[in-house]
Amino acid sequence: ETVSAFDCKVVNEMDLGSHVLVIGEVNHAEVINSELLPLTYSAYKKERQGFAPPKAPTFIDPQIFE
C-alpha cells in the first residue's frame, strides 16, 4: 500500500559520491490512500531508530553498539 504516486520527468541528476540526487519535474501526482501515514525520515529515525529490519540485506544488529 502507498500514500501517493508521482509521475515525473527527470530533468537533472547529480552524483553525490555515495548517492545520486535525481531532480524531477512533476507531471502528475495523486493521493492513493489518505488514511496511511507517509514514511518520513523523522518517522524512520523515531520508529526504527535508524536500523534496517532484521531480514534486510543491510541489517546490522543494534546490540553491537551497546
Q: For 1-26, what is each residue's pLDDT tens digit? A: 899 999 999 999 999 999 999 999 99
Question: Phi and psi of 65, rounded to 5°?
Answer: -95, -5
Cell, residue 9: 520527468
Q: What is the pTM of this model?
A: 0.52
Residue ranges per domain, the chain? 4-65
In the three-class reduction of DSSP (H, G, I as helix; E, B as strand; rest coil), residue 30 is classed as: strand
Amino acid at 42: S
Alpha helix positions (H), 1-62: 41-48
Q: Supply the pLDDT for residue 48.
A: 65
